Amino acid sequence: MNDKSKIPPGQKQTDNFPVLHVGKVPEFDPRTWYFKVEGEVENPSVFSYEEFKKLDAVKDKSDFHCVTGFSILDNVWEGVRFKEIAKLAKPTKKAKFATIFCDGGYTTSLPLQDLMDDDVLFAWGRNGEELTPEHGFPLRLLVPKKYAYKSAKWVRGIRFTEKQELGYWEQRGYSNTADPWTEDRYP
Ligand SMILES: Nc1nc2c(c(=O)[nH]1)N[C@H]1C(S)=C(S)[C@@H](COP(=O)(O)O)O[C@H]1N2
Ligand SMILES: [Mo]
């Protein structure tokens, strides 16, 4: 479906799902995989794969905008909301940002305010199917309101912080606000 009102300026809609990342797709072993929550929280924790999959999951439809210019509308993601994990972790009063870290060293970070939105998910499924490894299986972040370099693949944990730690692309000159509607591509 073509819905021009949902395509931000300078973007083109695509119906396929391009694969884009730096480095190689990491190996996944459900017996050794874990998800770590650390930093400015009252309850630091480590979830096994089995434990993570038992958290309250939701389905949420949202759009995906890559800074290189493609947009994919109406993806139905399945996973756990960021705010569900924050509820368990209990960020301290000092916590204002979170860094999402991934297998292979990729990172991104956002103000907690943005991450607490209902559409921010740690997802394992899209449109009724399990994500492929290339698209981030077993777990990727989705931050639909931001350019997709904030939607980190192969996520292994969250670090709540008082000050923002710039992410991989943000350190390399991409906009830290990353708002597709105002074309925050570069600073
Ligand atoms: N771990 C990791 N996550 C990543 C990236 C990456 O290089 N490494 N690239 C980002 C960028 S720039 C984009 S556009 C999307 C692409 O996601 P896709 O390959 O599922 O389309 O992943 C994001 N997440
Ligand atoms: Mo991207």
Q: Which tokens is 74 given?
A: 């109406």
**Domain tally for the chain?**
1
Q: Is the CB of 145 under 6 A from ligand 1?
A: no
pLDDT of 22 over the 70 cut: yes
**pLDDT (0 to 100) of residue 105:** 97
Concatenated DSSP letters of the chain? ---GGGS-TT-EE-SS-----SS-PPP--TTT-EEEEEESBSS-EEEEHHHHHTS--EEEEEEEE-TTSEEEEEEEEEEEEHHHHHHHH-B-TT--EEEEEEGGG-EEEEEHHHHTSTT-EEEEEETTEEPPGGGTTT-EEE-TTSBGGGS-SSEEEEEEESSPPP-HHHHTT--SS--GGGT-S--
Ligand nearest to the CA of 67: 2
Rounded mean pLDDT, 177-181: 98
CATH (domain of 165): 3.90.420.10
pLDDT of 2 over the 70 cut: no
Q: Decide: 35 and 141 in contact? Cβ < 8 Å.
A: no
Query: Does 19 fall in a domain?
Result: no
pLDDT tier at 145 (50, 70, 90 boundaries)? very high
Q: Is the CB of 21 under 6 A from ligand 1?
A: yes
Rounded mean pLDDT, 111-116: 98
Q: Which tokens is 30 given?
A: 């459900």
Ligand nearest to the CA of 26: 1
pLDDT of 1 over the 80 cut: no
Average pLDDT, the chain: 97
77 phi, psi to nearest 5 deg? -90, 145
Rounded mean pLDDT, 39-56: 98
Q: Is the CB of 161 under 6 A from ligand 1?
A: no
Query: Does 70 fall in a domain?
Result: yes
Q: Decide: 185 and 175 in contact? Cβ < 8 Å.
A: yes
pLDDT of 133 over the 90 cut: yes
54 phi, psi to nearest 5 deg? -90, -5
Query: Does 172 fall in a domain?
Result: yes
Q: Decide: 71 and 64 in contact? Cβ < 8 Å.
A: yes
Instruction: Return the ligand 1 atom nearest residue 135 CA.
Output: 20
Instruction: Return the ligand 1 atom nearest residue 18 CA.
Output: 21
Distance 73 CA to ligand 2 centre (A): 15
Q: Is the CB of 20 under 6 A from ligand 1?
A: yes
Whether the model clears a pTM of 0.95, i.e. scores above it, the answer is yes
What is the percentage of the chain residues whose pLDDT exceeds 90?
97
pLDDT of 187 over the 80 cut: no
Give the domain extent around 143.
Answer: 31-182
pLDDT of 21 over the 90 cut: yes
Query: Does 22 fall in a domain?
Result: no
Query: Does 15 fall in a domain?
Result: no
Q: Is 21 exposed, middle or buried (0-12, 13-18, 19+ CB in 10 A)?
A: middle
